[in-house]
Amino acid sequence: MKITRNKVLDKISALAIKYRKKWKEDLCESENIEEYGKNEFIGGKAEAYEECIQIIEEHLLTNQLL
């Protein structure tokens, strides 16, 4: 199976969206350490996938300009 730029970005985007939907802003203030910790973990994953998209897009743009 050939991996293309679009497939990579689509997969990472889907993961970012999935985790962003699970993250709940109201739990950022939770006193329940388990809820808070799980929410922070999920938010961190969403941010990481979003950053991956940004890095890949910047890399692709830089390579296209060369």
pLDDT tens figures, 5-17: 788 899 999 999 9
Give the number of other CB atoms < 10 A from CB of residue 60.
Answer: 13
**CA distances for 31 relative to 35, 39, 48, 50, angstroms:** 8, 12, 25, 27
pLDDT tens figures, 2-51: 767 788 899 999 999 999 999 999 999 999 999 999 999 999 999 999 99
Q: Please give the span between the terminal C-alpha atoms of the chain, in angstroms, as a whole number.
A: 28
Q: Is residue 41 part of a domain?
A: yes
**Per-residue pLDDT averaged across 38-65, rounded?**
90
Q: Is residue 45 part of a domain?
A: yes
Q: Is residue 43 part of a domain?
A: yes
Give the Cα-Cα-Cα angle 24, 50, 18 (nearest 5 degrees).
50
**What residue numbers bound the domain in which 63 lies?**
33-66
Q: Is residue 40 part of a domain?
A: yes
